């Protein structure tokens, strides 16, 4: 379809473009930014007057709950939620049921996603079989099936010898390992250690659970040369360690979740299970350090950590409820809110949900490397058009995700997505 996006403010953080221009799309690619080529006849014209035109968002942490957990969400509902939030590409963790440790399962997931034709799905393969932390998976076969990296999802890898072997193998073949830094024994609590957890009688997760894991990961990176992405950092001490690791030249990237960027342990309130999350919400000093790290580039990407949880799993006492919250529809708005609250440049706020995540994926994108998370003539026509001046109130019942639980319920957020284009096709358009 030939599409003309007319009169919008075009921002591409990757190239520092920020200009009023038209965008012409043809054959799934961006044909022109600025002057429309002679003879171009649009089949659809999108009026973007007063709106921003940016690269489609890339979310590095979206649980689709398929295969096996369809009671919590369906592929159709979560991909519809993604494009409604301006997300055109997403990475899904391997902790499905069964786990994504077999090529056939990965191919089936990709086939289902491609049939829906809504957004690009990049699966993470399991690092160890069944995520049990004992035997490594067949990484070569999983890569050929479409996996972009390998992960333990939320399951800590207790055996450091297995971790070392995984790093050695991944380094040999150029694969990336994605880990959430959490020490196996210290990370078993349900809230961040501190005065609030003590007062509520909740088992705590100390900052040391994150920092000990980071020290182990960094030491093994030094001896193996592995490339590691750290998922959902949560503490000020963790940010400091990552900053030093980057200065030391380690090949490490990291992300944080929208939950940790905006909330603290005080948001647990009176045992509100919507704030039961992994990693747990920490104190304000940690949140402030995460914001600084995201602003100065220590942290590479902001993710939704989208985890749909059904009603029965949340309607339990706090410590027994299932951790997780829906978030993919909120990612863009919460990036904008961070920009407004912290005085961060708009291009930086957009970079951490577009170009930054694309740089994390890097060569694993294959032929799409350099074409995802940016607007460029000849590049993929993955585009988000949104009204930065429009505000909306988060109403769980109005979310497209099958998971309705979010700690941001009732928040007024900036930025309404007007249109999402994926591969040159309109995947979402606001009524």
Catalytic residues, which ones?
A: 305
Q: How far apart are CA 31 and CA 377, in angstroms?
A: 6
Taking each helix axis from N to C end, the angle separating 331-342 and 284-296, rounded to the nearest 10 degrees, works out to 100
Q: 184, 205 in Cβ contact below 8 A?
A: no
Q: How far apart are CA 106 and CA 238, in angstroms?
A: 32
Half-sphere exposure of 53 (CA within 13 A, CB side): 30
Q: In 3-state terms, what secondary structure has residue 391?
A: strand
Q: 241, 235 in Cβ contact below 8 A?
A: no
Q: How far apart are CA 325 and CA 351, in angstroms?
A: 23
Q: How far apart are CA 333 and CA 288, in angstroms?
A: 19
Task: List the helix and strand counts (H, then E) for the chain.
Answer: 13, 18
Half-sphere exposure of 277 (CA within 13 A, CB side): 33
Q: How far apart are CA 298 and CA 407, in angstroms?
A: 26
Q: 222, 250 in Cβ contact below 8 A?
A: yes
- Give the other-Cβ count within 10 Å of 59's Cβ: 29
DSSP string for residues in 215-268: HHHHHHHHHH--EEEE-----HHHHHHHHHHHHTT--EEEEEEHHHHH--GGGG
Interior angle at CA 67, CA 63 and CA 72, nearest 5: 55
Query: Quick one: DSSP state of residue 24?
Result: E
């Amino acid at each position: 379809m030939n599409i003309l996006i007319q009169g919008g403010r075009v921002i591409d953080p990757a190239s520092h473009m920020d200009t009023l221009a038209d965008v012409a799309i043809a054959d799934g690619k961006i044909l022109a930014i600025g002057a429309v080529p002679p003879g171009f006849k649009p089949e659809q014209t999108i009026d973007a007057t007063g709106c921003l035109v940016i690269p489609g968002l890339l979310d590095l942490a979206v649980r689709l709950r398929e295969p096996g957990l369809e009671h919590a969400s369906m592929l159709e509902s979560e991909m519809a939620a993604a494009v409604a939030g301006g997300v055109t590409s997403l990475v899904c963790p391997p902790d499905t049921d069964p786990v994504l440790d077999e090529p056939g399962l990965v191919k089936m997931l990709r086939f289902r996603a491609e049939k829906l034709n809504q957004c690009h799905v990049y699966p993470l393969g399991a690092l160890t079989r069944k995520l049990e932390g004992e035997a490594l998976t067949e990484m070569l076969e999983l890569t050929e099936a479409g996996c972009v990296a390998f992960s333990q999802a939320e399951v800590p890898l207790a055996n450091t010898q297995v971790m070392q072997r995984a790093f050695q193998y991944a380094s040999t073949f150029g694969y990336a390992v994605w880990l959430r830094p959490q020490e196996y024994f210290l990370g078993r609590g349900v809230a961040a250690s501190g005065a609030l957890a003590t007062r509520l009688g909740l088992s705590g997760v100390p900052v040391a659970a994150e920092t000990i894991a980071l020290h182990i990961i960094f030491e093994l990176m030094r001896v193996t040369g592995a490339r590691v992405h750290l998922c959902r950092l949560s503490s000020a001490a963790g940010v400091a360690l990552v900053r030093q690791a980057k200065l030391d030249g380690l090949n490490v990237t990291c992300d944080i979740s929208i939950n940790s960027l905006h909330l603290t342990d005080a948001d647990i309130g009176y045992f509100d299970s919507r704030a039961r999350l992994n990693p747990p919400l920490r104190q304000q000093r940690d949140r402030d350090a995460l914001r600084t790290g995201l602003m100065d580039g220590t942290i590479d990407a902001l993710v939704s950590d989208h985890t749909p949880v059904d009603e029965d799993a949340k309607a339990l006492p706090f410590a027994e409820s299932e951790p997780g919250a829906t978030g993919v529809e909120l990612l863009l708005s919460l990036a904008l809110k961070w920009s407004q609250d912290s005085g961060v440049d708009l291009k930086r706020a957009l970079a951490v949900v577009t170009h930054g995540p694309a740089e994390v994926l890097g060569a694993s994108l294959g032929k799409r490397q350099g074409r995802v998370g940016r607007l460029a003539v000849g590049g993929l026509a993955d585009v988000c058009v949104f009204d930065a001046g429009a505000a909306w109130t988060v109403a769980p019942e109005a979310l497209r995700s099958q998971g309705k639980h979010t700690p941001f319920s009732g928040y007024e957020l900036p930025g309404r997505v007007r249109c999402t284009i994926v591969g040159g096709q309109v995947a979402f358009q606001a009524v």
